[in-house]
Structure formats: structure tokens, C-alpha cells
Structure 1
């Protein structure tokens, strides 16, 4: 079977509108999380990572008129436009499109939003992206809570392996909306301060928004310097609770175990872990238990939620792209905000930007409904 790679990539976020700029800001320890005071989104001030609306409008305006597109559609189009142009891939019937999102255009259901309410349908979002770029194939919209972004990579790999497509473009993202904020607030999961994954002082999540995109391909001539090979991937649902993770980490444990089996790899092969790390008590504890069950407690680990907040259906894709650049630059990036371990099992949390020879990393994600996904990625160029 041909090797499958992640290649051309782009990130649109509060830390910048292209991957290199975003990674540079992470390298410099800059976070996109700020105090937001917007009563249209939430009645009280809250911390979140939100793209500046004027900057988004100006940047999207360079592509064409923006009045016919929602905020999320503008973000996704900006992200995907860059890699379609740079890759020069012709959009034939052999090229797929996967869109990963948790809530899509949920903001169009707000009575004050001028967009048609039908835009809230995920299928409608898919066809808007398809029609903008003139994809020949039908879009596949993947919405499986917070594993959606990394799961989209798994699905793209499988489509290519079974011969449905030769190459697949993925774009994932979510926005910060009143619906999402009020929902997480009802769980008492929102932090009153910038989030601190795995920290003893953690008090919950911050929400963030992002659009990220990547080309999945088997063509070596389409590889960029930071390209990685998808060595193995797997998903498992522990069916523990509608929102609470398994206390034993069973679903995540089995996902990583299966990904290792496909990758023919083990804990000794992993140079670092890009974990989910939402900074909620239950999630971080569950991850610590699952990772230690697999003898991964000593592997350098970070959560990028302190830079972007939790970007929901875009988080796994976003964090995988940062991981690609981390391998390329041979640099470990810290879990910003972490001071003292606050879980029951040992974890090797990355505390400072560190130069280290890197070859392989593990990406994990967990979400509502008991879903868990893990993937192993290896550097293509030394």
C-alpha cells in the first residue's frame, strides 16, 4: 500500500492567517487568548481566542466580495484557498473534500443574524465550500464532536487506501458563538482565567475559533518540507457518558493501542505527544490515566489549548499542523500556563520551548459522546 502524507497546510486564527506565522507566535510564547467583552456573545466578560473581525474582513476581501459568506465560511475559504493554489492540484473527480466542524454555522440561528437560517445545516456549509472552489466531488462533512479534526485525517487516509480518491483536501473549523459559550457555561466548564491544561490550578476551558486545512496525498512530488507520513490511526468510542470521559481512559487507551499496532510503533518510538488537554478536571485526569496505562507518562507532552483555546471541530487538525511544524523545526513547544502537575498520574509536561531532534509524534483527541481518536505521524525529511 502506498504511503499517505499530510502536506500543504494553512491555519487561520487569532495568532495569524498562515501556518508559519502562527507557529512563530507559538515559538515566541504568544497566546491568542484575551479577555473578551461582547454582550452579544456572552453577558459577562470571558477569556477566548477570537479572530479580529476587521482583519478577517480585510483579508477575505482580497479574495472577493464577502457579504454572501458567513464568518466561518470566510475563515474556511481563506484557509483552503492558500493550499489549493500552492499545491496546484487540479480538482478532478479523483480529489475529495472533507469538512470537519462541530457546530458549523450555528450562529445563523440567532434572530439578529441576517443570514438565512438554512445556512445552519452542515450539508449547506459543505456545498458552499464545494461551489466556491468548484470541487467536482460531493463534500463529506464530518461532525463527531471534538475529535472531528483528527478523525478527518483518518477518514481521508482510508478513502485514499480504498481507491475512492487519489488526494483529499481537508478544512476544519468552528467559531466562537453565543450558543457554544452558553452550552459550555451550563456545564460549568468555562474558566474565569486563561486555561491551564494539566495544571493543579486549572479551572476549565477557554473557547477559540480557527480554520485549518491540509492536503492528504500519496504523491511525493506534492510534499512540502514539513510534510509527515500518517503511520497509523484509530478511533474508539467508550460510550461512557454524553459529555463525561471514561474514568479509566478506556476509549483513548484503545485508540492509541490500535494506532500503534497499525504504525508498528510503541512508546519508545514517540518523541512527543500533542494531547487534547482541555484543562477540565475530568478530561486531563482521564488522559493522564490512559497515557500511563500505555507507558507514555514520561514522553514530552503539550496541549496547545493555552494558545488557541478549545477550537472544537478544528482543534485536532490545527494541533496536527502545529505538530508537523514542530517536527520540521526540531522544537518542542510548551503548554503555556502550566506550573504544577494537577493529575494523579505522572506526565512530562513541556514547560519551555526546547530544541530537540524529533522524528515521530502522537496526536490524541477526545470528545463528547465518548469518542476518542489517535494518530501517529512521522517526519518525511530529516
Structure 2
């Protein structure tokens, strides 16, 4: 096993820069997931670790050794791709042992390693079959087995589950996580699926536009996102963002664009008048009888265990998740309340998170001259 260090790593294709000075420390045995939207640079970064892409600038260390100029075969890594890339004319056992055969490993040792990997992955009944005789999940396990037999110091996974159906993806991500817990091999996993990232990772690295936006434990990123991008990317349905302005006074608050008010416990004096985005996750909104923000139900989506409701309020649509069976219908007037301790505030200009002492304390339907003045000034 080995730690991985990326120091000021850049990647350019001619004059086009795609990775901009990335710094990441991956501990020995850690399971790190690189996540972000398509085109954010996560797969390019993984391919640089694998040696399939050159590094324009910066240093890459595996096990303390700089490997920038080493060929992939000399980096002691194993990679599992999105496509299974199995040889159709070979059996499962032959596919799994092929890399060892190319390295001149004795047949008895190849058989031992293949049997070991097959036992770990429950592939023993399928060793004599060919890929066309296997399901998608079984083929992916064969691809993983081919990586295991190499006994590498690092596993790299490039969106390995994207070709599987939803049920099989859930099963396979549990198997990959269990495999890591058993083998304790340093693992870097790339996905655009934030659910995969949240459920599998020891640590998530969120990327956008070739930059690292935030890195940390899954629940840390979910509960305390550094910026609007991370807050909106992690979570399904996504966090709601409501624009407003902070107002000082005896009752400090957030004046929303429709004139309603959210009382805020406190905030630093220098933030008075600042345009902000109030963030609240769908599971942290409640329907109340009174003393809440008025909303109109637009869409009701029952999923079985919970109900997703989209409602129009404060001049925009917000989504809430109800754990009980919801007795609401499109067009119905309701009132919404927010869980104070789980509210988030972001600078509307740069998207950065504002101080943690900000928290919504009360919601009502007040309209005020102060808000109209702020709204006029913003316009």
C-alpha cells in the first residue's frame, strides 16, 4: 500500500488549461472519491495518477517516490475502467490472470492469485465461463478481479458503475466498499454520482473547472459546505437557495425579495446590508399551521418512503422532503418553516460560506420599508 501526493499539479493541452494547480494528500489505505460534474477534470486527474496522461507541471508521489516520468506498469497501480475491457475469447480465469502471464509469473502462482481473487469476489462458479455468459455486475467483478491479482499498492476506479442499472449500482458500490475494507488498499475512485461519493468515501474531493472546491469527510462537506457549488452539488434533491439581504437593528433579519422576513439570531455588524443566499436543504423544511412563509404547492412526487414537494415561495421554487404521507395537492396554499440549526448563508457575490453564527430563528410574513429600500438599492 502507498500514500499518494499531488503537489501543484497542472495539465494543459496546448494553450488550454484543464487542471489548475491541484494539491491533494491521500493517506495510505484511504478511500478517496473525486466527484464533480462532467468536464471538471476528475478523470484527467485520475489518468495522470495512472500514468495515462502526462503532467504538465507539479509533482506526483506514490509511496513517497516521484513518479511523473514512470510508465504506468512501473507505478504499482491497478485501474478499473468504465468499460469492462474483457477479452471475449478468454475465460474469466484467463482474463483475471492475463496480466500476470504477460509478466512471466509461474502458472501455479497465477492460479493461486486468481483463486484468491475469485474467492474474494464470489466468482468461483464462473471461472470457466466467457464474458458473454455473465451479467453486467459479474463482468465488473471480473474487471475488479483482474486488478486484485496484481496485488497493487493503489486501486484506481474510473466511473466503474455507470454502465449498470440502478439496482446493480447499489449492490456493486457496497461490494467495492466491502472489498476496500477487506484489502485496505489505497483507492482513488472517480464518479459524477454524488450518492456514490457520499456512501463509499472516507474522504470526498469535490472538483469544478479543474480546481478542488473542497475536500473532507462526506458528512462534513454535506453539513458545512465551503461554497454554493459544493452545497448545491452534494445532496439529492439539491439544497434550496433563497436570495435576500441582511438587515441590522433590534430584530436582525434576512429580508427576502418578496418582502417577507426571516429573523436571524445575530451576525457581525460589517455584514449589515450584504446580499446573501440563504441555503436550506429539502429535508430541513417543515409544513406548519401558521407563523411561516406562505407558499403554493406546485408539484407532489411520492417516492414511497417519502414525498418530494415543490412549492413556490419568495418568488421562486423550493423543494422539501416529507417523511410522512403528504396530504397536499398542487395549487394548495401552505406555510413553511425552516430548521434553524441547519440553515446556511453564502455571500451572493462570491458564493463563499458566511460565518457560522448566522442562523434563522423565526419566519413570518412581515413586509418592511427597510426591505423595499434594500430591494430598490439592489435593482
Question: TM class by shorter-chain length?
Answer: under 0.3
Larger-gyration structure (1/2): 2
Give the structure-1-normalised TM-score: 0.23
Give the structure-2-normalised TM-score: 0.23
Structure with the bigger percentage of helix: 1
Structure with the bigger percentage of strand: 2
